[in-house]
A = this chain, B = another copy of it.
């Protein structure tokens, strides 16, 4: 018997809605017997092509989004504190994810969850490779091997190619962006719709 295909979850570690979405997608995937495949990418690269900007930089939409991040987090009991410095470069964390996942995807996901929490609950600077390496170390990953790996040409290239494939190939323009059985759902607020879609087999 074929296993059901996983839910692809595209995110940037610097996206508040991706953080919220990371909390919401797990239970829904589990309910439908699906795995979640995590794919960090560079939202900035996607935004460049779309001529969009980080949400908080829009005058009115930005103000609304800050209220909505909190409201969505409260709704689902997700710890959330808007980081004081936003957005952040997330190259170290993203490359780190790819490198850890080569060995053990479950560890990579645990690492990703801790990176998200460090930024969106504990206000840590996840652009700092040393802080990200501490998190990797907390997950049982060798700290110095991690720091070396995220500067290696092989991992740099692998992430660059992955971002290119996600943005140009998969046409991902925002985060969180979920794809299941070829159907795309954009936004933390669409996880409920994705849930319904799987429950009803589409409509």
* Residues of chain A at the chain B interface (Cβ within 8 Å): 46, 49-53, 58-61, 63-64, 67-68, 71, 74-75, 171-174, 184, 186-187, 189-190, 192-193, 196, 203
Contacts and interface: CB of A to CB of B under 8 A. Distances in A.
Contacts of A60: 46, 49-50, 171-173
A34 B76 CA distance: 26
A199 to B, nearest CB: 12
Q: Which secondary structure characterizes the binding site on chain A? A: helix
Contacts of A46: 60
Contacts of A174: 61
Nearest to A74: B203
28 contacts: A49-B59, A49-B60, A50-B58, A50-B59, A50-B61, A51-B53, A51-B58, A52-B58, A58-B173, A60-B171, A60-B172, A60-B173, A61-B173, A61-B174, A64-B171, A64-B173, A64-B184, A64-B186, A67-B184, A68-B186, A71-B203, A74-B203, A75-B193, A75-B196, A75-B203, A189-B189, A189-B193, A192-B192
Contacts of A49: 59-60
Contacts of A173: 58-61, 64
Nearest to A177: B64
Contacts of A61: 50, 52, 173-174, 186
Contact of A189 (B58, B171, B190): B190
A66 to B, nearest CB: 12
A71 to B, nearest CB: 8
Contacts of A196: 75
B171 A63 contact: yes
Contacts of A51: 53, 58
A168 to B, nearest CB: 10
A76 to B, nearest CB: 10
